[in-house]
Each structure stands twice: as structure tokens, then as C-alpha cells.
A and B are shown apart, each in its own frame.
Chain A
Amino acid sequence: MESWLEFARGPLFRLSFAILILGLLRILFLDIWGAYKAYRKAGDKSMPWKLILSRSMEWLFPVKRVAHNRPVYSIFSILFHIGLLLVPIFLFAHVKLWEKSVGISWITLPYNIAFWLTVSTIVFAIALIIGRVFNKSSSFISRKQDYLWPVLLLIPFITGFVCANLNIDPKSYQFFMLMHVLSGDLIFILIPFTKIAHCVLMPLSQVVCTLAWKFPPSTDEDICTTLNKKGVPV
């Protein structure tokens, strides 16, 4: 099991991390390139930056629109995201690993805060799954990945919590750690190809939506030509 663990947190981690970064860069590039091309083609190039910024901020720091629409779900979702982002990046043990391997480090979460954030992420992930299953509108529009993602995200949090906080025998520890690292690797690989891509694309949404309404000039003639509709009455 030890060699498996070494493989999972060595080459496999490097591979999955590379897929994560390159994959996210790819979709980020494609998104920005698409937006740039749309801007070039647009007949009206004025952009309401104030509105775009204000609406982007509304969702990057979601406070304004939480209370009146599915408040419990929304607040749980925000709390879930806080732990989900902070714990993997700022956990002391994770930062130490980065320091040991590539020599860079950054601030870390105090143990107590990391502990409670982990607990809250687990609790809220479960609550979100329950919410998705039992909310009529939610379950109707859900795809497989919408159920699988919170379950998958639970694995590294639960196994990480077990390894960090419970006294277990070395064999079990190794098993939980292997699960922890493997699930983390899998998550990294899947992020750029699934809805979790929103972690980098979301800030661009308002720009993309604004640009989508900025049509190119004179498409009527082009489309008529392509569809062979020239001279066809309305």
C-alpha cells in the first residue's frame, strides 16, 4: 500500500495537477478568446463596465441575493464553498508538502479553524445532496454529475479529517491517506472537464453575457446567403 501511496502522491499527483492547471488554462483561454473574437465582430463595442463589475461582484461575494431565493440552500452552498476553497489551499499539512517539494509556502489556517471548516464542509455537502434529492425543481434538472460531485468532494474531506484527527492504526491510516490522495487526484483531473470549471469561468460570466447581446452588424445577409433565403419574403 505504501508504494501505491507514493505513486498517488508522487507521479499521479503531478500528472493530475498538471491536467488541472493546463485544463483550466485551456478553458480560460478558449473563453477569453471567444469573448475577444465576439468583441471584434460586434457592431456596438460599448461595454457597460460598471454594471458588469457590479453584477460580477454580486456573485463573487454573494450576499445581496441570498435571503429571498432558496435562502437555506444558498447559505449552505456559500458555507460549503468557503471550506471547500480554504481547507485544501491553506491547510498546514498541505502547505508543508508544497514547501518540502517545491520550496514555496504561504499562510496556513490555525488548527481549530481548519478542523471546523472541514466539519462544516462535510456537513454542508451532505445537506446539499439531501437538498438536491428532495427539492422538486432541483432534482428535476439534475444530471448525474450534479449528484456525484458533492459525493466525490466528500471523500478527501472525510478521509483527510480521519487521518488528521483520529487515532487509527498505521494500516488504516495508510488506507485512508491513499483514498484521500487518490480522490484528490481524481478531482483535479475532472475539474476542467465538468461543471466545476465554474471555479475559473464564473468571474467572466457577466462579460460573456453582455458580449453575447452585442451582435455583429449585417448578419441578415450572411445568414440569408448560407440558408439560401435571399429574396424570400418575411
Chain B
Amino acid sequence: MRTTVVTDEERKKAFKSLRKAEVVEKQKLDVRYHIEDFDVNDRPRRFLEAFAAILKHSNYKMALDHFIRMSAKCSRCAVSCQVYQATGDPKDIPCYRSELLLSVYRRHFTVGGLLKGRLLGSGYLTDEKVQEMAESFWNCTACRRCTLECPAGIDHGLITHLGRYILSEIGIAPRALVVSTREQLEGATKNTSAIPVPALKDTLEFLEDDMFEEKTVHIKFPMDVEEADYVFFPAVSDFLMEAESLMGIAAVFTATGDSWTTGTGYFDGINYGLFYSDRMLERIVKKVDEEARRLKGKNILIGECGHASRSAKYFIPTYCGGKDAFPVLNIMEYTHKAWKEGRLKLDPDVVTEKVAYHDPCNLARQRWIINQPRELLKAFCKNYVEMTPSGENNICCGGGGGTVSIDEIRPYRTTVGGKLKADQIRKSGCEILVAPCANCKKQLRELVEDQGIDCQIVGLHDLIYKAIIFDDSLVVKKEDEPEGKEN
């Protein structure tokens, strides 16, 4: 699927910077995202120092060596990149973006590059190049679709990931992500949305009452239950913005009867470390593991969130004990399994609208979760339509890689980043788009709003909540209710 290049007017809107001129001047960095103040002196040297430290203590070197030996510059990645398709700017070709960092690696960290550089007196890392990387790596949504199209198998997403990591070590990272991570790791509330535990409890109690009114079933959000089968970590923003998804999840657990819990010690699945710093990724993952241990849980269950799920699934084993680490599941895997086992009944007459499913990149790109949500949706949505391409080849919502949390670049995300997705949604003609990811949902809502598409964006469990059929034994009959409880 292709899209057209944006018009000049759209381009102007998309690339308009909201940063004040004096801040740009002070920080000597012309990018569109806000950055906290940082040391602007001697950036190239400090970049190289950070690069060297990261290479020393990580596995990136092996991949960079492999990439610089065989990159063939075929430019097939260009066609698959939704950002390049929309901007038409060759600087947005994934291979070009990767070369920004690969050339630094080649010049400063390989013998051949050092000799050539010394001989020709060229290729030094400059401030301009740091500036170009700071801009380029945050234009990319890190969706990794291009990696599927590279015959040489170069993982451009990995290079973007590494480039952002190095930049963050010299203070260049979007303020939105840094501030949230700071609250999560060092703040009083220990979560990215700064929700205090009492407020969380109030919210959940309110939701429980709401659900009882609607379904006449006692649907609970168990808190701090020890030895539960599943310790639940949603994207914490769901508590504020995606109540319906959480209600659907609670409803599923009520129907299946399995034990699950949310810990008040730590309850945030969000991990912005995946987007800008491996060090933060590690710290956050360890917090999740710590809470699951405190509660003596059996499995870690992540809510409807692509990056939170990927962070936990792939990095809890990395940082918390390898094969002895907690098993990690995404909620869709759990719900699908329960439905397959016949423990979950869904009413096929409730959702009649035309429904489509959007694959979050972090769930589908590595072929992790593709079929389960589709099977579930097809089971109770009569009017399900498939968008193409989908599954591992899905098109990113345009807010991937943490960019959705950077509010100041919304025009970029909805004009450039999500342009191809908007075309795809329009083409599918869906009335409801299911996006089981907090980030995708936020981005897609902004996208349909800004692009004028009439489509409702929901989570998978929002629809499951509507369609779930409870066993009669769970439904409280009016006469069963103790007096005075009805209000």
C-alpha cells in the first residue's frame, strides 16, 4: 500500500516547531520536541564517549560490525517506510537514517575508518551531525517495518533505538518521556501518569460500581492479592483514559474465575526506556519484576499495550533471570485462551458495526500476537473486515516509538507519520477500529480527528465488555440483593 507525498501546506504544518527561538538558540539544537536543559558544550566528544561506553557494555557492536560489512543500499526500505512515503524526503529513507550512526561507528570505532579518516582528515563527528541525528531518529516511529523489506536483514529499528539511547546519554531526549520516566522511577507515585494509590483505588471502586449497575455482576479489581495467578500491569494511562478496556479485562477474569491482582506497590506497565534508553528500560523492567515477586504472583500479565508488552516479554527474561524469570503474557493471549477453552462466552448480536483490527507493531512485527485477537473478534463481530497489509506487515499508527507521547509533534504524527494509516482506515471503511495498545489508541484517535475520518477507536476488551455473557450463577438477581444495595 502506498500514500502520496504531503502538500506544501501540510508539510509546513507538520514540521512547524513549537519551541521558542531563544530555547533553540540556548540549546543549539533545532528539533521539534522539547528537551530539558542540558550541557551543550563539546557534544561530539561526549556523544563518542557515550557511544564507546554503550558499545563496551552491550551487544550492539556485533550488529554494527555486521551491518557495515554488508549494507548494499538497495533502497527497498524506502518504499516500506510510511514516513518517507509521506515526506518524499530522501533523508527519511531508513537506510539513510541508519547510515548517520553507522558512519560514526565506521569512522570512530573501526580500524579501517580511523585510518581512512586520518589519511583524508575527514569524517569527524560534528555538531551538525549530532543535530541531524537528534532530528532524524525522532522522525522515525521505530515500527521496524523496513527491517522486513531489507534483503540484507539490517534492523534499522535497532539502529534508531541505539541512536536515541546514545543521544539520551548526552541529554538529548524528548522531555515528555524523560519527565514521565523520572516520576515512574524516582517520583512519589511511581507511575508515568502520577496517579496516587488512593486515587487509583477510588477510580477502581467507581468502575466496580459502574459495572455492577450495568451488568448486575460483582466485577472486581482485586488489589494486592498475594499468590495470584496473574499480576496485572496495564499502561497506567488506561486508568485515566481507557476505563472500558480495564472493565473488559476485569469482566473476563470474573467470567473465568482465575485469580489476578494489581499491586499498589507498583502498577505501571509503561516503559519509555524502550524508546530512548536501555538503562531506563532495565530499571523499569526490574520494578515490574520486583512487584510480581512482592506479591508472590505466578505470571506477569500486561494490559492492552504494545510497547509495555514487548518490554516485559522480551526484557524481563533479559534483566530478571533468563529462563527462570516470570512468564509474561499479554491480556489478549489470556482472553483468547479462556475463550478457546470455552470459559468465556460472547454475544454475537451486540456489536453490529463494521469492525477492523489494527496490529500494534510491538505485538505483531515479530509474529507474536496476530491471530488471537482476530479469532476473538470474528467470533462475535458479524461485520469484521481485514485491513491490508496486516499482521507482521502492518502499517504503524504513526505514533510508534514513543512519539505519541510527545504532544508538541502531534501535527507531524497526524499529517506525516499516520498518513498511510489514515488512508488504510479510510479504505477499509470500518466504523470501529480495534487497537489493543494505549499508544496506538491515542495516536489513532488524534489521527482520525485531524484527518476527518468517521471512525471510533477502541480496545479489544472494550468490545468484549459489551459482548460478554456471564454465567447465571454470577448474575445478581434483584431479589438476591440485600436491601439498600440497589442505590
Contacts and interface: CB of A to CB of B under 8 A. Distances in A.
A193 B325 CA distance: 42
Contact of B72 (A198, A206, A222, A224): A198
B74 A208 contact: no
Given A205-B152, A208-B66, A216 B57 contact: yes
A141 interface: yes
Contacts of A219: 57-58, 278-279, 282
A45 B50 contact: no
By secondary structure, the A interface counts as helix
A216 B73 CA distance: 30
Interface in B303-329: 314-315, 317-319, 322-323, 325
Interface stretch (B88-96, B127-135, B413-421, B472-480): B88-96
B79 interface: yes
A143 B116 CA distance: 15
Given A218-B282, A226-B53, A209 B185 contact: no
A7 B366 CA distance: 53
Given A37-B62, A215-B58, A227-B53, A206 B153 contact: yes
A216 to B, nearest CB: 6
Contacts of B155: 209, 212-213
Interface in A184-232: 195, 197-198, 201-202, 204-206, 208-209, 211-220, 222-224, 226-227
B181 A234 contact: yes
Interface string B63-91: 10110011111111011100010000010
A181 to B, nearest CB: 26
A74 B319 contact: no
Contacts of A220: 278-279, 282-283
Interface stretch (B143-151, B199-207, B220-228): B143-151
Interface residues of B, number: 61
A35 B432 CA distance: 45
Given A34-B62, A213-B314, A234-B280, A70 B69 contact: no
A212 B76 CA distance: 22
Contacts of B169: 223, 227
Contacts of A37: 62
B367 A136 contact: no
Contacts, number: 178
Contacts of A38: 59, 62
Interface string A121-137: 00000000000000111
Contacts of A213: 155, 158, 314
B382 interface: no
A162 interface: no
Contacts of A34: 61-62, 65-66
Nearest to A135: B75
B76 A70 contact: yes
A51 B323 contact: no
Nearest to A35: B62
Interface in A17-61: 27, 30-31, 34-35, 37-38, 41-46, 48, 51, 55-56, 59
B341 interface: no
A141 B57 contact: no
Contacts of A135: 75
B70 to A, nearest CB: 4
Given A46-B317, A46-B323, A209-B158, A202 B182 contact: no
Contacts of B323: 44-46
B149 A227 contact: no
B99 interface: yes
A214 to B, nearest CB: 6
A101 interface: no
Interface string B236-256: 000000000000000000000
Nearest to A217: B319
Given A206-B153, A226-B53, A27 B186 contact: no
A61 to B, nearest CB: 12
Interface string B170-208: 000000001001100110000000000000000000000
14 contacts: A44-B315, A44-B318, A136-B90, A141-B75, A205-B154, A208-B63, A209-B154, A212-B155, A213-B155, A213-B314, A219-B58, A223-B57, A223-B169, A234-B181
Given A43-B319, A45-B323, A208-B66, 17 more contacts: A55-B148, A59-B151, A62-B151, A135-B75, A137-B79, A141-B75, A141-B99, A195-B73, A197-B70, A198-B70, A208-B63, A212-B155, A215-B278, A217-B319, A218-B282, A222-B57, A234-B186
Interface of B: 49-50, 53-54, 56-63, 65-66, 69-76, 78-80, 84, 90, 93, 95-96, 99, 147-149, 151-155, 158, 169, 178, 181-182, 185-186, 278-280, 282-283, 314-315, 317-319, 322-323, 325, 366-367
